[in-house]
Structure 1
Amino acid sequence: MMGLRETRCLELNAMSLGVDEETLMENAGKAVAKIISERYENKKVVVVCGTGNNGGDGFVAARLLKNSSVILAKSPEFIKTDLAKKKYREWGGEGLVYGSKDDLAKAEVIVDALLGTGVAGDLRPPYDDIVDAMNNSDANIVSIDVPSNLWGSKRVNPKITITFHHKKEGMNGNSGEIVVADIGIPQNASLYTGPGEFAFFPLSKKDAHKGQMGHVLVIGGGPFPGAPVLSAIAAMKVGADLVTLLVPENSARFASNHPELIVKELPSSNRIEMSALERITEEMNKCDVVLLGPGVGTLRDTTDTLRTTINSSSKPMVIDADGLKALRGHIDILKNKKGIVTPHAGEFEFITQEKLSPGIENHTKAACYLSNLTGMTVILKSAIDVIAQNDSYRLNRTGCPAMAVGGTGDVLAGLCAGLMARGMDPFKAGRLGAYISGCCGEMAFRRYSYSMGPIEVLKYVPDVLKSGLSRV
């Protein structure tokens, strides 16, 4: 079963691979026309079209079906999308605007192209009357993709639903016979990350207030004071409402140049140590997501402190950089935890004490292995990243070789933490975080060539976010 956002994700990814939206609509309409022609030969067909792209699918089907007519929910000027308008014109007929149930009286087959996957709730006129008229008719109803208003209080009750690519969540038991049609979405649309990942980005509500979209706590710094700052800025740039840096004194001075961040000092001058545990626990209780590891170094006391923090934490976590080193010989502490670990090949070998063979197939198996071992989402970083949650995985091929510099991993970890704070689950946050990071790196390289670094990557997060969300 596939949810609505998963469906939109696939469609957008397919379009990014060269399958345009018009091709998908044409293929959907052809599939509907073919099945109806086979099942209901020589029957009088009435296609009921709404104002969105579900109606566009209906216009394509009507153009291809013999002995068919169209009833419009509203007059043609209310058709919303340019593509649906184009398909209406290509159909070439004069659709009757719905007036009463009598408009459907002579239909032997009604094609439900009224409302698509983007609609749920209480129906307003004329849609409530049209749904009643369809359900009360003697015709066989065939719904396109999903029965209209499937998730609402009043829905169409079809004999057949012709859905596309996969069954949708909520269809079983109330969609009649479900026929899954292939409309040309390539396999790579579900194998690789793409712009469709933005379909999962939680948008802020109109009445949103500060803190509602998440609070990230970044625990890091000491030997490398810049790393946690990069992570914190990345988390903020993908929309975390609040970002707190909890760092040693030397790192706090470094971070104070960024007024958008909340900076709090640990009781030590230049490293994280056991004496900080009480303060760490106090701050963790105030946040939604914890990011551990950027810039902490590998002193034993620091590693022991991070391990104890991970073991006791009930918060979703992103564990990155030297924070991963605390897991060597103690991977079991991640059991029943929620979050993301972000090793590159060397870190994977260090924490698992197993050799990682080259090649994307081996990397995929390794990432799934570590995820199954821990329950965490794994981002195994390489030229092609593998993002794995148990046996499910995506590959991310955005990015460029110039990103293989210090600090870009801190940016990725911060992006993932910020997305989780907004409400994304770790697997989806990892997929979108890796995609955004790589796209920003590509843009930075086009502008700065090999002079680019993590600061330049961060500059492009707003552009990538704006572009991605505009397509959803």
Structure 2
Amino acid sequence: MQRIFSCQQASELEKKAKEKFAIPPFLMMENAARAMAEFCTKESRLVIVCGKGNNGGDGYALARLLQTKINVTVFALEAPAAEEAKTQYEMCRRLGLKIINASEEPDFQILFEKLCKSLTADDYIADCIYGTGFHGTLSPDVKKIIDIMNKSRACKLACDIPSALEFSADYSITMGCQKLALYSDTAKAVSGKIIVADLGIAREKFEADTESSSLQTQVNDLFLVEPEDRELPFRKNRAVHKGKFGHTAVLCGDKSGAAILAASAAMSFGSGLTSLLKSNSSDLNQFKISPALMISDCLPKKTSCILAGSGFSDFSKDTAKILTDWFYSFKSSGSRTSQTSTTSPAAVLDAGMLTSPETPAFLDSLNSIENARIILTPHLSELKRLLEHCGAEGDFSIEALAESPESRIAAGNYLTTRFPQSTVIMKSANTFIACGGETFVITDGAQSLAKGGSGDLLAGMAAALLAQGYPAKSAAITAAEHHALISQKTGSENYNLTPEVFLSLL
């Protein structure tokens, strides 16, 4: 896993690295520009748009590095203000690079638009306008320039972070370390492929001072999940039977199709046995159900994980009682090794079981059981309602949860502190997982998942791993990352990733 840092942390790390390793101020800017230059491999054209800060300084350095290798034109929106940017600008000016200044050229926007329209897919545009220090809103003139850039056919490069998250990059070349600002839902839509460029020292050295007191007060224990972080349930022991891999019980609500999808995913993701538990409101008779799924009127004796909420329009008191009684039976009879393949109760709770005023008390009761393994799987609307019913303080509007990674981290930390046996999978374009003071970010999910039933499949996958004895953290990370990677198999832009197609790929 890679560590992710807030912008303030990243700035602090850069400052400390310069002091600790005697790095001259200009050298990191040189290395940032060199990292961008490595992408411009074709002998074509490069348009660089520079702002007044050090992001613009990176752009001037990039122009200088490529002056004899590619046809470079620099558009300066403002005169450089940062000292390093001033130095880089002056070097470019004395070398005779073509720089068009907005303050000096009355037809600046017309010239810029004309050049951008002439660019082809073999050309490049580099966004060096604003970095991570930008706050507020874009001026109309800068917004127009970025709109023109976005319409170009050229390959688009963002220096550190797409300016104001308005520039739509093909590649975001972020400097020194992973930055939290790149992992909001808006950022996912415009960042393209995120690449971390070193600034002249190894990342291990650059990130070495994270234990300092000034960094500890900021966002910490934040990690980017990668494919190799999965712990898939491969069966390496050749002498096993179905009972070794748990029994997942999926409770059916009024929309039983969702429960069937979740149960099917659980069976496909390694659950040894999977049962659908009928309720008074379930409508299983209208569905064609795989013969591999069992149907039961009561909780199977060897249940090792319960999944409840998929397809529930509302909170079910009957379901809550089944779960609470089953959890409390562990409290009264110890490990219960005679009745289950695990030594602690496990549950995945989704949808309607998370959005009622009765939910907090219900979760309190489940979390009172020591060593319980609980995974909550809300999407952002459900997360907002859960936090409201818990009385959480802060801006937890859907917009804040989507656009502010810090808000989602705070939401996860609140819930996992309030419900200490729980791990929370906060589903969105970038999925955040909160567990025990740590946050894990899943970025590999494709837009093809934007379809009914995708969340039910994830819930079933997580339940299957809990049934097989996984800790909640590992189950959540593995299920969410594998769910995301499956979505890429048919192409991220594909529109026909139905649950049935997903299950065939699982």
TM value normalised by structure 1? 0.51
Taking a change above 3 Å as real, the CA distance of residues 190 and 382 of structure 1, as seen in their structure-2 partners, is same
Taking a change above 3 Å as real, the CA distance of residues 206 and 260 of structure 1, as seen in their structure-2 partners, is same
User: Aligned partners of 2:225, 2:377: CA distance in 1, in Å?
Assistant: 17
Q: Tell me what 2:488 maps to.
A: 442
Superposed CA deviations along residues 322-365 of structure 1, whole A, max 9, x for unmatched, are 12235534242232342101111111121221452231121112
Indicate if the aligned counterparts of 1:191 and 1:395 stay in contact, CA closer than 8 A.
yes
Letter in 2 for 1:377: T
Moved more, 433-442 or 322-331: 322-331
Matches within 5 A, 1:55-204: 191-199=223-231, 201=233, 203-204=235-236
Offset of residue 310 of structure 1 = 3.2
Offset of residue 186 of structure 1 = 9.6
Instruction: Quote the RMSD (CA, aligned, Å).
Output: 2.8
Letter in 1 for 2:406: E
1:191 alignment partner, SS class: strand
Q: Tell me what 2:409 maps to.
A: 364
Q: Tell me what 1:431 maps to.
A: 477
1:317 alignment partner, SS class: strand
User: Aligned partners of 2:350, 2:206: CA distance in 1, in Å?
Assistant: 33
Alignment of 1:297 onto 2:327: no
Taking a change above 3 Å as real, the CA distance of residues 382 and 352 of structure 1, as seen in their structure-2 partners, is same
Indicate if the aligned counterparts of 2:231 and 2:478 stay in contact, CA closer than 8 A.
no
Indicate if the aligned counterparts of 2:221 and 2:437 stay in contact, CA closer than 8 A.
no
Indicate if the aligned counterparts of 1:201 and 1:424 stay in contact, CA closer than 8 A.
no
User: Aligned partners of 1:372, 1:213: CA distance in 2, in Å?
Assistant: 30
1:334 alignment partner, SS class: helix
Total equivalences in the alignment: 262
1:442 alignment partner, SS class: coil
Letter in 2 for 1:426: A
Q: Tell me what 2:246 maps to.
A: 214
Offset of residue 408 of structure 1 = 0.6
TM value normalised by structure 2? 0.48
Which one of 234, 256, 275 corresponds to residue 225 of structure 1? 256
Letter in 1 for 2:417: N
Alignment of 1:451 onto 2:481: no
Superposed CA deviations along residues 282-326 of structure 1, whole A, max 9, x for unmatched, are x3x42111111111322xxx6222222333232210001212235
Letter in 2 for 1:428: S
Letter in 2 for 1:334: L
Offset of residue 192 of structure 1 = 1.4
Letter in 2 for 1:286: K
User: Aligned partners of 1:242, 1:350: CA distance in 2, in Å?
Assistant: 33
Residue segments in structure 1 that go unaligned for 5+ positions in a row: 1-9, 15-181, 267-278, 462-472
Indicate if the aligned counterparts of 1:321 and 1:410 stay in contact, CA closer than 8 A.
no
Indicate if the aligned counterparts of 1:202 and 1:422 stay in contact, CA closer than 8 A.
no
Indicate if the aligned counterparts of 1:293 and 1:322 stay in contact, CA closer than 8 A.
yes
Alignment of 1:321 onto 2:351: yes
Alignment of 1:309 onto 2:322: yes
User: Aligned partners of 1:185, 1:435: CA distance in 2, in Å?
Assistant: 28
Offset of residue 184 of structure 1 = 5.1
Which one of 419, 433, 452 corresponds to residue 374 of structure 1? 419
Which one of 370, 377, 385 corresponds to residue 350 of structure 1? 385
User: Aligned partners of 2:302, 2:295: CA distance in 1, in Å?
Assistant: 14
The percent identity for this pair of structures is 26
Alignment of 1:401 onto 2:447: yes
Letter in 2 for 1:335: N
2:348 alignment partner, SS class: strand
Indicate if the aligned counterparts of 2:225 and 2:481 stay in contact, CA closer than 8 A.
yes
Superposed CA deviations along residues 8-53 of structure 1, whole A, max 9, x for unmatched, are xx5xx79xxxxxxxxxxxxxxxxxxxxxxxxxxxxxxxxxxxxxxx
User: Aligned partners of 2:479, 2:469: CA distance in 1, in Å?
Assistant: 13
Superposed CA deviations along residues 36-77 of structure 1, whole A, max 9, x for unmatched, are xxxxxxxxxxxxxxxxxxxxxxxxxxxxxxxxxxxxxxxxxx
Which one of 284, 287, 294 corresponds to residue 303 of structure 2? 287
Taking a change above 3 Å as real, the CA distance of residues 186 and 370 of structure 1, as seen in their structure-2 partners, is farther
User: Aligned partners of 1:185, 1:325: CA distance in 2, in Å?
Assistant: 45
Residue segments in structure 2 that go unaligned for 5+ positions in a row: 4-201, 208-219, 328-344
User: Aligned partners of 1:373, 1:184: CA distance in 2, in Å?
Assistant: 34
User: Aligned partners of 1:242, 1:204: CA distance in 2, in Å?
Assistant: 18
User: Aligned partners of 1:241, 1:255: CA distance in 2, in Å?
Assistant: 23
